[in-house]
Amino acid sequence: MMMLQGKSAFTRKELDSIADNLATDEAGGQSALNPFALVLKPHRNVITGNYDANVLIAALNSRGKEVVWFDRRKGINGLFLEVAGYGGRLLGIIANVPKPWLLGWWQGRHWVAIRKLEGTWYNLDSNKAVPVAFADEEMDLREFFETLLANDSEIMLVLNEVAGAATQGKD
């Protein structure tokens, strides 16, 4: 996941562990023997390497980030209003986009991170050789997200924790 970088970045081993722990938690703490467990993982696809949203949310929460699902029914204007409403708390945006696999015979999904770095918004898609800047920020971002929404992409906003939120309610 390219949302967090440097010391905060996740390794595949960490994400696999989170996915496996989520599956164990759902099974009531039992790790039952399952002959298909090597291939069929409930929170990750061992063929494509794609993790489900539960893994990403748990991973980001472990780094003190809050994840808010965007309701696609609000449309592009609703997205821009929510982004503006979070102001400096917004770390970035993660989108789960449809992606054709096997020459278009199978429709998979792919996570894409969008983040503002040093005043410029970037598409941090791991399928691209380098991060891609949104040159005409508002128009390019609007067009990018309109395309995502039109193609049934899921969008999540990643927020930095509010200062002091981790200690509220604790003595």
CA atoms within 13 Å, Cβ hemisphere of 155: 25
Question: Which CATH number covers residue 48?
Answer: 3.90.70.40
Q: What is the largest CA-CA distance in the chain?
A: 57
Is 170 within the bounds of a domain? no
Residue 1 lies in a domain: no
pTM of the model: 0.77
Look at the chain and report how many structural domains it folds into: 1
Model confidence pLDDT, tens digit, residues 96-135: 988 877 776 777 788 899 998 888 999 998 888 899 999 8
Query: Residue 35 is part of which domain span?
Result: 6-160
Instruction: List, for the chain, all residue ranges whose pLDDT scores fall below the cut of 50.
Output: 1, 27, 29-31, 33-39, 167-171
